Amino acid sequence: MPETESEYYFLDNYWVTVVGLLKMDVPWDLISTISDQDMVILMGTVQAFKDYENEQQEREMRRSQMGV
């Protein structure tokens, strides 16, 4: 059990990252075998792709609304 505030923060941050990756459909088998640093990199990369896809969809919607 964590004894200091920083240990609680680390533990909370770890589980927020794990749950975030699971919500992004990253398999548990992968999550459970990579380092904490790799988890953060993976989460950022997956989020960047999702953001890009959302931006593309928004552009397409604007184009279709403009009749272009």
pTM: 0.65
Secondary structure class of 52 (helix, strand, coil): helix
Q: Report pLDDT digits (tens) over 22-53.
A: 998 999 999 999 998 899 899 899 999 999 99
Q: What is the DSSP string of 3-49?
A: -SHHHHHHHHHHHHHHHHHHHTT--HHHHTTS-HHHHHHHHHHHHHH
Closest of 6, 9, 27 to residue 18, by C-alpha: 27
Q: Which amino acid is at 1?
A: M
Structural domain count, the chain: 1
The values of phi and psi at residue 14, to 5°, are: -60, -50
